[in-house]
Structure 1
Amino acid sequence: RPTTPRSHVGPRPAIVTRAGWGADERLREREFAYTRTVRAAFVHHSATGNNYTCRQAPSVLRGIYRFHVKSSGWRDMGYNFLIDKCGTVYEGRAGGVAKPVMGAHTRGFNQNSMGIAVLGAFENANPPAAAVSAVAKLTAWKLGLYGVDPRAVTTLVSGGGNRFPKGSRAKLHAVSGHRDGFNTRCPGDRLYRKLGTVRDAAARLQGR
């Protein structure tokens, strides 16, 4: 069990399990992949459409899951968590929501981090307030489990990508956008601009 004081862990948000969104467990690899700890959260947008209803969100997740495994050849869904426009949090990659499950979300920085995807595209559309709030709640809880202040800057060693060469030490926000670790427009300008709000809200939820 962790020996660090648990005073700065935000309340655990409700999380829809993989069974809850209908993940076909036969698609993924049987074994789970873990990393050592969770020092940062990378926020993404799924770049799927914004016109889904919240009742349709599980089918959007199933499509992303199938694409990641069947088309990309990954062991499982790439993201550790996904959030819909109503602020519902979903379990992404299998292996235990409280554990440091290694995802496939930010090339070069999948070690010691987690990936959160908000369903939708936010280059030109504003992210729903409920989704932004859910990102804050999720990071307050999960980063808190590992003793991380959401407003902190952390150092991660790059595994190699198009922004930081392999082996380089990157200073990144504990709550970063995909574009901070990799040259991409993800998570869209409108969601990216909300990350300061997320960090402050998450720190408040941790009681900091």
Structure 2
Amino acid sequence: MRIHQVSLFGAACALALSLTAAGSTAVPAASAPARTSTLALVPLAGPRAAGTVLLGLPARATTGYSLLGVSWDDPAAELPGTVQVRTRSAGRWSGWQQLAADSEDRPDRPETSGARGATAPRWVGPSDGVQVRVVGDGPLPAGLRVDLVDPGDGPSAPAAPAAAEPAERALPAAAHQAPRPGIVVRAGWGADESLRRPGFDYTGDVRAVFVHHTDTGNDYRCSDSAKLIRSIYQYHVRSNGWRDLGYNFLVDRCGIIFEGRAGGVARSVLGAHTLGFNTGSAGVAALGTYVSGPVPQAQLDGIAKIAAWKLGLTGQDATGRTMLTSASNGSRYPSGTAHTFDAVSGHRDAFDTECPGNALFAELPAIRERAAHLQGRR
């Protein structure tokens, strides 16, 4: 996996995936090593409105990449303005695409000394050119850079998830425990385990699932899902400065469920997905952008399956409610404040964000009902 960093100064594969299924085998992590190149931002010529800052990168060729985003030094700093990018693929330039100004999925506290602020990443597919412009009406944060991520060599997504591994069912019995869905483990999507920080952090029982969208765009094939997840993993660690991928699980448009943050799919792994409420919860991200337009039914079913199973491990009703205590003033609720959430909630329920998009958020009641049915409660 390679990541190309562009400094902004001025303020499908043949390998089969390893599944957590009986008889499955692991495949090696992506063999291509990480690689970084740095390009400086320059002031862009041309007319501009009074009081605006216009910085960017003129159109230029790059080495290959498939995902990009912008990050800056201070993880607490906001980026006032907009970031737009154009990319080149097969000799043709795309139109301008706007990146979300703030990646709103984050840990409750910095996980490494290299934590950074960042936009949401955008999947653009195999590309070899880039153009950037950043427009703001105030000082831009220091250390702005564009990261161009090449997912490297590794497996692609399978046609369908496999059955659960019987050994993983050896857990304390809980009422209304849903069937365990097939989950593509980290080896299956080609995670480079040397990239993440060693060790794991665990919390108390998972009592809530927060649903997200990755906001990476919908222009991907399911056969590219593993590449997309490898790219997000690289971005979360190298660009955001997190210890590992932020989400506990990811679900693609074909309904395939992937293990996110390492530590065990049946364990209460502390993620970096819902500021203030990462403890006692699991973050499930839909691969894609769902501000508008329909969410694929297979993806909705996949989210319901993983939510039903994860909540059912401790007997939590998927249509019930649970109380969590905020760990950050950056959330909707001051640190130390207890708030009652639906067991299946959207990211926007805990943080001032559009995530998981209006289209996916509107589907949460149906996801809860489907999950409760899988738990045998309906």
Q: Do Structure 1 and Structure 2 share a fold, with TM-score over 0.5?
A: yes
Matched residues, percent identical? 53
Equivalent AA in structure 1 for residue 221 of structure 2: T
Query: What is the number of residues matched between the two proteins?
Result: 207
TM-superposed deviation, 1:162 = 3.3
CA distance in 2, matches of 1:6, 1:163: 32
Aligned to 1:154: 322
CA distance in 1, matches of 2:252, 2:176: 26
Q: Deviations over 1:150-188 (max 9, x none)?
A: 101111000012311000011110000000010100000
- Partner-residue secondary structure (3-state), 2:365: helix
The one of 293, 301, 304 equivalent to 1:125 is 293
Aligned to 2:219: 51
CA distance in 1, matches of 2:371, 2:268: 19
- Partner-residue secondary structure (3-state), 2:341: strand
Q: Structure 1: where are the runs of 5+ without partners? A: none
Equivalent AA in structure 2 for residue 27 of structure 1: L
CA distance in 2, matches of 1:36, 1:116: 18
Q: Deviations over 1:56-96 (max 9, x none)?
A: 00011011101110111111000000000000000000000
1:173 has 2:316 as partner = no
Equivalent AA in structure 2 for residue 194 of structure 1: E
Aligned to 1:139: 307
CA distance in 2, matches of 1:151, 1:60: 31
The one of 25, 33, 36 equivalent to 2:201 is 33
> Is the Cα–Cα contact under 8 Å of residues 174 and 314 in structure 2 kept in the other structure?
no
Q: TM-score, normalised by structure 2?
A: 0.54
Aligned to 1:89: 257
TM-superposed deviation, 1:127 = 1.1
> Is the Cα–Cα contact under 8 Å of residues 175 and 315 in structure 2 kept in the other structure?
no
Relative to total residues, which structure has the larger strand share, 1 or 2?
A: 2
> Is the Cα–Cα contact under 8 Å of residues 250 and 286 in structure 2 kept in the other structure?
yes
Aligned to 1:110: 278
Aligned to 2:181: 13
CA distance in 2, matches of 1:188, 1:78: 18
The one of 199, 202, 208 equivalent to 2:371 is 202
TM-superposed deviation, 1:190 = 0.2
The one of 58, 62, 65 equivalent to 2:233 is 65
TM-superposed deviation, 1:120 = 0.3
CA distance in 2, matches of 1:68, 1:46: 12
CA-atom RMSD in angstroms: 1.1
- Partner-residue secondary structure (3-state), 1:15: coil
Aligned to 2:109: none
Higher relative contact order (CA 8 A, sep 6+): 1
Structure index of larger Rg: 2
Aligned to 2:90: none
Q: Deviations over 1:24-58 (max 9, x none)?
A: 11110110111111010000000011010000000
Q: TM-score, normalised by structure 1?
A: 0.97
CA distance in 2, matches of 1:51, 1:146: 37
Equivalent AA in structure 1 for residue 255 of structure 2: G
CA distance in 1, matches of 2:293, 2:220: 14
- Partner-residue secondary structure (3-state), 1:122: coil
Relative to total residues, which structure has the larger helix share, 1 or 2?
A: 1
- Partner-residue secondary structure (3-state), 1:55: helix
Equivalent AA in structure 2 for residue 174 of structure 1: A
> Is the Cα–Cα contact under 8 Å of residues 326 and 334 in structure 2 kept in the other structure?
yes
- Partner-residue secondary structure (3-state), 1:16: coil
TM-superposed deviation, 1:2 = 6.1
